[in-house]
Amino acid sequence: MDTWMRFMSSDGGVVFGRVEGGYLHEYESLDQPVPTGAVLSTRALTPLAPCAPGKIVALWNNYHALAAKLGKPVPTHPLFLLKPAGSVIGADEPIQRPLSYAGRIVYEGELGIVIGRRCRDASVEEVAEAIFGYTLVNDVTAADLLNENPHFPQWCRAKGFDTFCCIGPAIVSGFDWQRARLVTTLDGVERQNYPLADMVFSPAEQVSLISQDLTLEPGDVIACGTSVGVGSIRDGATVSITVEGIGTLSNSLNAARAAAVAGAEPVVASAG
């Protein structure tokens, strides 16, 4: 198992590489995993989300326990929505309540698959080399928007807000997901604790089947869906998602008022 992280350096550059004993061994990139020779102390670096996905494929109803609780049959093909690249934040970055939304905001602790190679119409056998590693995802949802319109479930809107896709803290390659459990705590109180082996579609099956629908690119993330124990985050609360071997992804929810102070005022960027 290797642990991979992405950081901002003090000069504003982005560095990616393998982390061991407090040092980053820099690599060219996730899809060009060639060492540059540089070794940097992580103490001088600011952690970022461990990859920069062009898209996030987020699964619904992919755990037997949740399907049973919802009273829904398990699907025959992965059911997914897309979260945009702009929704991604890393560990310890704040989830921002949208200025326009005062309703319930919900956490979902999930395993994330990080794609390492372009992948289209690939068999289950072929995808093994396309999976770079595994990370953690908090698939945040503005729950009251989902069914606000009775004619069109608003999955992309409810899950697509800026900061609503927390990814991190690291990508672990060679990780054996089959024996691991995912634990989610809310302000330190355990809310989810489920075995990853309860998945309907395994990571390899997900990558293979989804690659029949759209081309997966290096850095893309598949959020494997959540299981039972989903709940609301009140403003100021902290959600922590842990899988032993990968680490802990913690993010707090900022109220919209605080968000405005921190820079979420209206923006139409000048052309530079």
DSSP 8-state class, residue 105: E
In 10 A of CB 200, how many CB atoms? 20
Exactly one of 23, 33, 92, 181 binds a second copy (CB under 8 A); which one?
33
Report the first-to-last Cα separation within the chain, whole angstroms. 43
In the region spanning residues 66 to 105, those forming contacts with a second copy, defined by CB under 8 A, are: 72-73, 75-77, 79-87, 98-100
In the region spanning residues 99 to 158, those forming contacts with a second copy, defined by CB under 8 A, are: 99-100, 116-123, 126-127, 129-130, 148-149, 151-157
* Closest distance of CB 249 from a second copy, Å: 21
Q: Say if strands 88-89 and 95-96 run parallel, antiparallel, or are unpaired.
A: unpaired
* Closest distance of CB 180 from a second copy, Å: 25
Q: How many whole angstroms separate alpha carbon 13 and alpha carbon 173? A: 24
Residue 255 in the binding site for a second copy (CB under 8 A): no
Q: Say if strands 88-89 and 165-173 run parallel, antiparallel, or are unpaired.
A: parallel
Say how many residues touch a second copy, by CB under 8 A. Answer: 62
Q: How many whole angstroms separate alpha carbon 88 and alpha carbon 174? A: 24
For a second copy, which is the closer residue by CB, 9 or 202? Answer: 202
Place of tokens 């081309």: 215
Q: How many whole angstroms separate alpha carbon 82 and alpha carbon 58? A: 6
Q: How many whole angstroms separate alpha carbon 195 and alpha carbon 206? A: 17
- Piece of 104-112, 188-196, 222-230, 259-267 that binds a second copy (CB under 8 A): 259-267
For a second copy, which is the closer residue by CB, 179 or 257? Answer: 257
Residue 160 in the binding site for a second copy (CB under 8 A): yes
Q: Which strand (E) or helix (H) includes residue 47?
A: strand 46-48
Residue 264 in the binding site for a second copy (CB under 8 A): yes
Residue 4 in the binding site for a second copy (CB under 8 A): no
The binding site for a second copy (CB under 8 A) comprises 31-33, 54-55, 60-61, 72-73, 75-77, 79-87, 98-100, 116-123, 126-127, 129-130, 148-149, 151-157, 160-162, 212-215, 217, 264-272
